[in-house]
Structure 1
Amino acid sequence: MFSFSFKNRIAFNYIVSGSFLIAVVFVFIYSVVKYSVNNHINEEIQEELNKHLNDISTDSNDTYLIQVDQWRAREHNSISVNPVFVEFYDNHKEIIDKSPNLKNSNIQLLNNVNNKFIDTKLNSIPIRQIQTPIINKGKIVGYLVVAMSLEDFQIVLILKNILLITFPLILILLFLIARFFAGKSIKPVQTIIETSSQITKDNLKTRIPLPFNKDELYVLSENINHLLDRVENAIDREKQFTSDASHELRTPLAVIKGTLEVLIRKPRNQQEYEERIQFCVSEVDRLNHMVDQLLLLARFENQKQNIKKETIYLNALILDNLIRFSDKIDNKKIKIITSFNDDYYINSDNYLISIIFSNLISNAIKYSNNETDLTIKLFEDNNSILFSLSDKGMGIAATDIDKIFTSFFRSDVVNHSEIKGTGLGLSIVKRLCDLLKIEITLTSEINKGTTFILRFPEVNLK
């Protein structure tokens, strides 16, 4: 099997289909010309046959007479480009008379082929003849043979040779033309190949130039560029995530190591040991919580989690999460205000929705001031269910709102170092909202509080 380039394959496939069409056209032309020439010769021979039959008369002795004078006169007065040969035979198949143009030659009288057109030869010249019996009173009294040269038919043979010669020449010419235009058509593919060969893990900025015509190659180039955008963004996120994760994990490990080194430098009393060990335990818990969140975030990074849809009673799910954080709520003396206008149900993944509520409520409690209100609302708007969570805490600076869903980002951490966290909670919330097609928005004002709003899609309504 020959290995053709893509350009040659296009040209070859075009030629295969084109050759069939050209062959059909050539056969049709040849057949029409052949049929026309054959009919023309046959009609002329038949016409001559009828004329000469009219020149024959029969006497009382059943002998037919040829009106030679009329025949000769007609032959001299008519112009014939293609000569007609005529011979008369008696009932014994002996020649009685013939046309002068035969001279010393004779047309062969054949057996059992009366009234049929037969191709024979006269002195090596191809002719077509027809013979008919001359009948008088039911008896054959002679034969009339009319023939005509097949020189006109040579046109058909010449045409056949021309078509056979030109057919491969046309195919070769069409192949070269098709190959030329195929090369121009797939030039954007060559550009894609050259550009993609320049793209490496260290060079993801290069993009494929879009073709001028918005055809399939334009769509292909555009999709490849979008793919490169996603790959670049994913690699950038991976690099940033790896950098941030290593930094965040290194900090508590360094604190634990430093604390333990201080403990072993000199003997301590039991209370000091207990305080330092308890501090290390809290750092281990913080580290364990961070690892759990990192694993959870990685789990949904590529959105490969299988969503298990079921009917969720939002009112009960929110109250369950509030009970989980009841101790923290009581410690900060936060007043919970719930506003549920009705019972609200959605079709979604109960586990993932619970994680979203848990992280949002945990964040709201963490950043709320003591003895303030935390308001939770469920309501319907434009055929969608909305969840609203408002706290009266420190708020988020306007410059940080766009970064709040970035992994490990914590707003104003310097001025609020007493608030512990990993900066992963809201990143997980955003990832799950994207996965479940939930729209999440927030508004915030420094020292006044923050409001998160979730809009569940209409298709999730029960």
Structure 2
Amino acid sequence: MLTLIVCIFSAGILLFVEARLYAALDAQLGQEIATIGKVYREEPDELNDLAPEWGITLFQLDGGGVHRQSEAWEREGLSRALQTGGAASPVSWTTPEGHHYRVDSISESSYRVAAALDETSLRNTVWTLAVILAAGIPFAAGLAIAGGYFLAGRVLSPVGAMAQKAREITAESLAKRLPVDNAQDEFGRLATVFNDTLSRLQDAFERLRRFTADASHELRTPLTAMRSVGEVALQSTLDPVAYRDAIGSMLEEVDRLTHLVEGLLMLTRADSGKLQLAPEALDLGRLVGHVIDQLRVLADEKHQELTLRAPIRVNAIGDAALIRHALMNLIHNAIKYTPNGGIISVEVNVTGGRAMIEVRDTGPGIPAAHRDRIFDRFYRVDTSRSREEGGVGLGLAIARWAVEANGGQLELASGGTDGSSFRLILPAPHDSSAAGGHRQVYEPRGRRQEVGSS
């Protein structure tokens, strides 16, 4: 492209210079013709003195029966130039001997004057310029190639450095990052984007490793317990009651293992995007009431007070099975970690135009150091205590996924020493709440409980 531009530029220069030189030559030729005409009109007898005195060596004059021409005009045969050129004037003429002339003529009412100038020097000048420009084109192209190669090497050197660094990054060295010389230019922004991608990949790999290690550990624990109980039962002679206890212990571990596998399968389907949702309009107060009905027996065993407060009717859009599963995990966690005689309250309301369910308990709360990770898979604040109570650290992770899959969010509203509060927010239709003053009464099985007032 640069060579093409230089060629066009050089051709333009050549044509411009040539036009200017011929314009100057034609102007000089016009002055000579005007001089010859003036001499003819004023002093015709001095026409023979034009050559020695005026330096006009090539001319021809016809008029009033007078025919004058210089000796050089006749010798070069320039009359044929006028015949060949026709109406075009001025014209360039080359003699058989190779001499080059610029010929022009003018006709008045009583005479006709023609003159010629040697244009050999002009042609030589144009030719010299053409040679210089032609020689400069490959030189400019070569200089452009060398300079372009140098500049491209300087400009693309960050790409080479990034490529070399990228070759060193493997699954075991995801902590490495591409070099960023200037974060404001294109390559710097590209390297920054790649580094952000590597950070996300590193985080994903770390979570995958942690998940694999935790899953292996959780699967190994019940299997080891069942193996130990079975080996002890086989090596010892026990009465039927002891055998029943051993089998019961093994079935408890099987039940725990089943819950773990079901949770893992649900999360696996969720991660793969193969779990199909069936969103529908939900009456959250009724849905929460059914969940509380199923879990009330656990609260009664620990003499806990489990209440539902729904001051207004709240509708939401979501998959009923997933929302129920999330609520089961949240309320079950609250019952599990709240001491005997504690209080678990569930409130259904509207906040910011969206449906809200808040689950509060009077348990030990969640220490600040653990609040950022309680929704991680297999993460437990008290590992030994959770295992004793049957937890595997998947409940909150599954609950958050179930809520987010329905376009909502699950967050820890508070987790101080006076208990924990989880807030579940779901999309609500425009008519999600009834007018103020509505009173909803929920009747759980076996008793009547007022759950809200206007």
Tell me the TM-score range normalised by the shorter chain: 0.7 to 0.9
Paired amino acid for 1:423: G
CA contact (8 A) 1:131 1:143 kept: yes
Tell me how far apart the structure 1 counterparts of residues 303 and 128 of structure 2 sit (CA, whole Å): 110
Paired amino acid for 1:366: K
Tell me how far apart the structure 2 counterparts of residues 442 and 201 of structure 1 sit (CA, whole Å): 37
Tell me how far apart the structure 2 counterparts of residues 325 and 292 of structure 1 sit (CA, whole Å): 19
Paired amino acid for 1:130: D
The yes-or-no answer on 1:145 pairing with 2:114 is yes
Cα distance 1:453–1:133, how it changes in 2: closer, same or farther (>3 A)? closer
Tell me how far apart the structure 1 counterparts of residues 278 and 134 of structure 2 sit (CA, whole Å): 70
Please list, as runs of the form range in 1=range in 2, the aligned pairs for 1:221-370 lying within 5 A after superposition: 221-301=191-271, 310-370=280-340
Paired amino acid for 1:145: A
Number of the residue aligned with 2:102: 128
CA contact (8 A) 2:94 2:101 kept: yes
Tell me how far apart the structure 1 counterparts of residues 28 and 200 of structure 2 sit (CA, whole Å): 81
Paired amino acid for 1:19: T
184-193 vs 310-319, which deviates more? Answer: 310-319
Tell me how far apart the structure 1 counterparts of residues 360 and 122 of structure 2 sit (CA, whole Å): 103
Please list, as runs of the form range in 1=range in 2, the aligned pairs for 1:210-229 lying within 5 A after superposition: 210-229=180-199
Superposed CA RMSD: 3.4
Please list, as runs of the form range in 1=range in 2, the aligned pairs for 1:6-25 lying within 5 A after superposition: 16=1, 18-25=2-9
Give the counterpart of 2:16 among 6, 12, 32.
32
Partner SS for 2:292: helix
Partner SS for 1:257: helix
Describe the superposition over 1:342-374 as per-residue Cα deviations: whole angstroms up to 9, x where unpaired: 333444555443332221112112222334321
Number of the residue aligned with 2:167: 197
Q: Structure 1 vs Structure 2: percent identity of aligned residues?
A: 23
* Cα drift, residue 337 of structure 1: 2.2
CA contact (8 A) 2:349 2:357 kept: yes
Tell me how far apart the structure 2 counterparts of residues 224 and 289 of structure 1 sit (CA, whole Å): 40
Cα distance 1:308–1:37, how it changes in 2: closer, same or farther (>3 A)? farther
149-158 vs 449-458, which deviates more? Answer: 449-458
Cα distance 1:337–1:184, how it changes in 2: closer, same or farther (>3 A)? same
Partner SS for 2:376: coil
Partner SS for 1:454: strand
TM-score normalised to structure 1 length? 0.80
CA contact (8 A) 2:61 2:112 kept: yes
Describe the superposition over 1:180-206 as per-residue Cα deviations: whole angstroms up to 9, x where unpaired: 122111222111111111112222221
Unaligned runs of 5+ in 1: 1-15, 58-64, 137-141
* Cα drift, residue 72 of structure 1: 5.0
Partner SS for 2:80: coil
Tell me how far apart the structure 2 counterparts of residues 98 and 296 of structure 1 sit (CA, whole Å): 114
Partner SS for 1:341: coil
Partner SS for 1:264: helix
Unaligned runs of 5+ in 2: 433-454
Number of the residue aligned with 2:44: 67
Cα distance 1:249–1:334, how it changes in 2: closer, same or farther (>3 A)? same
The yes-or-no answer on 1:118 pairing with 2:91 is yes
Paired amino acid for 1:175: I
* Cα drift, residue 77 of structure 1: 5.1
Aligned length: 427
Cα distance 1:437–1:253, how it changes in 2: closer, same or farther (>3 A)? same
Tell me how far apart the structure 2 counterparts of residues 113 and 171 of structure 1 sit (CA, whole Å): 41
Tell me how far apart the structure 2 counterparts of residues 158 and 349 of structure 1 sit (CA, whole Å): 87
The yes-or-no answer on 1:426 pairing with 2:396 is yes
Cα distance 1:26–1:317, how it changes in 2: closer, same or farther (>3 A)? farther
Number of the residue aligned with 1:12: none
TM-score normalised to structure 2 length? 0.81
Number of the residue aligned with 1:61: none
Describe the superposition over 1:2-48 as per-residue Cα deviations: whole angstroms up to 9, x where unpaired: xxxxxxxxxxxxxx2x3343333333322222222233323332333
CA contact (8 A) 2:354 2:426 kept: yes
* Cα drift, residue 75 of structure 1: 5.0
Tell me how far apart the structure 2 counterparts of residues 147 and 45 of structure 1 sit (CA, whole Å): 7
Tell me how far apart the structure 2 counterparts of residues 307 and 53 of structure 1 sit (CA, whole Å): 105
Number of the residue aligned with 1:62: none
Cα distance 1:134–1:185, how it changes in 2: closer, same or farther (>3 A)? same
Number of the residue aligned with 1:206: 176
Partner SS for 2:173: coil
* Cα drift, residue 133 of structure 1: 6.4
Number of the residue aligned with 1:170: 140
